[in-house]
Structure 1
Amino acid sequence: MPNKKYIATPTKTNEILQKYAFAFKKSLGQNFLVDVNILDQIIYHAGIDDTTGVIEIGPGIGALTEQLAIHAGQVVALEIDQRLIPILNDTLANYHNVHIVHEDVLKADLKAIISQYFQEEQTIQIVANLPYYITTPILMKLLREDLPISQITVMIQKEVAERMAAVPQTKSYGSLTIAVQYYTEADIVMSVPKTVFMPQPNVESSILQLTKREKPPVDVLNEDFFFEIVQASFAQRRKTLRNNLTTKFKGTLTKEAITNVLETIEIDGSRRGETLSIEEFALLANAFYKEI
């Protein structure tokens, strides 16, 4: 049975909320975990031990932070809500390997935070119950900033997790899939019921694990252009690749020029974006990059 002293129980969470007269802010996507077993599963899947450094985003009142502190070497928790800082300083007072940083992760200098709190050769992971309304911007920042992190294990909305871990020819597969899988190997490790949150969210949740690749699976001439081509290919999902690219290159390339490029690389312009593999998108991007 979970220790009743842990933060992640309904009783203890209610006690903390009442003590501080804390009211949830819907605008910040605050849903606190109240099940220690789920937290144990997150830590098990992340493979954390006392040598690991962990960055947590949105610690809330410290339910996951506490469990991370028990298992990890160092924990740095970034919290945007000023009202939660004194609560966290109280609930985590006994854990001397935890540092609470009052910052918006989207504006934070994460490289500076890492160099301040972690040792140079330390294995660093991101583990978090992310606010669902800004999951994608947070993850894309983490991936595109080339941070010295090995793995990201996050609780996110099930639908978004499915998009990030999708394969071609499926409804979930799209530009977000390609963006995430360019940098990482994505795997949904478990589903999480609504009942383990307070308050309960309106959506189902999943734990997504992203393992950083040593290098991307494809070679592209220009990363920004590659992602532009991917987004353009999914701009109108029902439209063919040729039609989406015609819209993208309007005023730059003629329809004939677009058709010629597609023929040269042997990609059928009547296909839709969701049928292309990441390798085919790289081929597409590189071919058009040489044309413009």
Structure 2
Amino acid sequence: MSGFTEPAKKHLGQNFLHDHGVIANIVLAINPQPGDAIVEIGPGQGALTFPLLKKHGALTAIEFDRDLHAPLQAAAQAHGTLHLIEGDVLGVDFSALAAQRGDAHGQIRLVGNLPYNLSSPILFHALDHAAAIRDMHFMLQKEVVERMAAGPGSKVYGRLSVMLQAYCAVTPLFIVPPGAFKPAPKVDSAVVRLVPKPQAAIGVAHPPSFANVVRAAFGQRRKTLRNALQGVADSAHIEAAGLRPDARAEQVEVAGFVRLANLLAAN
């Protein structure tokens, strides 16, 4: 599928996808259309890159491992036009990239098999540029996808759930077994779709305040909001936002955190 083989580097968390059926399902889920500006994070050996190129004709990819650049460029020539960005995805300004290479609306579509040890930082980095992103299709560790989509009351509902769901519609798509990769990881993976909400539908008045409230609330999960939010919000603020000071963060829906953060920002 890839046209070349490079050994996976354990210190970079590399697990290369090779299952043709899984790859076909991911391409189907992405469903690239003429005019789309697709940006792949971590193309690796090109397992997803080349089928997307074959279907779409052009692609931008961000790859940290410079040993993969020459073989990727060489193999891509048979499939389409690959624009390769060398470096750490956390240092890539998605908004600037969208302005330079985006679609007619100045947006990009993100795809990728994310390294498990960097998945949360990459997701938060994407959130910072959500207005420039039309949608995201990522493969992640299954338990991370479960956290992303969890609702209040779930044991895995937490900061990641609230932050992502405040800004995006989160839809788990399908599970991918370890055998779909070389080397095989020790855990199941899953593919998830994130679609950033229109600005008017988000309702967060001051993103830094919102992030601060959510971080503090889940910083010590077993504490009540009254105790976890000491120095951030007092009981009067919590009650004014329609929340119970004796509730725990895992019991509060996303809209509740938005209300509290907006109240604090207004004050």
- Shorter-normalised TM-score: what interval? over 0.9
Alignment of 1:171 with 2:171, yes or no, is: no
CA RMSD of aligned residues (A): 2.0
2:116 corresponds to: 132
- Distance in 1 (alpha carbons) for counterparts of 2:108 and 2:75: 24
3-state SS in 1 of match to 2:173: strand
Higher Cα radius of gyration: 1
For residues 83 and 235 of structure 1, do their structure 2 counterparts lie closer, same or farther at Cα, with a shift above 3 Å needed? same
Q: Which residue of 2 aligns with 1:288?
A: 264
Amino acid at match of 2:171: D
Give the structure-2-normalised TM-score. Answer: 0.92
Work out the CA distance in 2 between the residues paired with 1:121 and 1:56: 19
Q: CA deviation at 1:119?
A: 4.6
Say yes or no: does 1:79 pair with 2:54.
no
| Partner of residue 188, structure 2 | 204
For 1:153, give the aligned amino acid: H
Amino acid at match of 2:51: Q
Contact 2:41–2:111 at 8 Å: present in 1 too? yes
Q: Contact conserved, 1:58 with 1:77, CA < 8 A, in 2?
A: yes
Return the alpha-carbon distance in structure 2 between the equivalents of residues 98 and 108 of structure 1.
17
Q: CA deviation at 1:172?
A: 1.4
Alpha carbons 1:242, 1:269 under 8 Å: kept? yes
**Secondary structure of 2:140 counterpart:** strand
Question: How many residues are aligned here?
Answer: 267
Change (3 A) 1:124 1:289: closer
Unaligned ranges ≥5, structure 2:
none
The residue type paired with residue 235 of structure 2 is T
Aligned to 2:209: 225
Q: Does 1:267 align with 2:247?
A: no
Post-superposition Cα deviations, 1:159-211, rounded to whole Å, max 9, x if no partner, equal: 11111111111011111111111211001000000000000112210001001
What are the Cα deviations for residues 107-140 of structure 1, in whole angstroms up to 9, with x where unaligned? 1233333344345447631111111111111121
Which stretch has the larger CA shift, 203-212 or 85-94?
85-94
User: Percent identity, aligned pairs only?
Assistant: 34
Alignment of 1:145-160 (within 5 A): 145-160=129-144
SS for the counterpart of 1:262 is: helix
The letter for the 2-side match of 1:162 is E
Alignment TM-score, normalising by the size of structure 1: 0.85
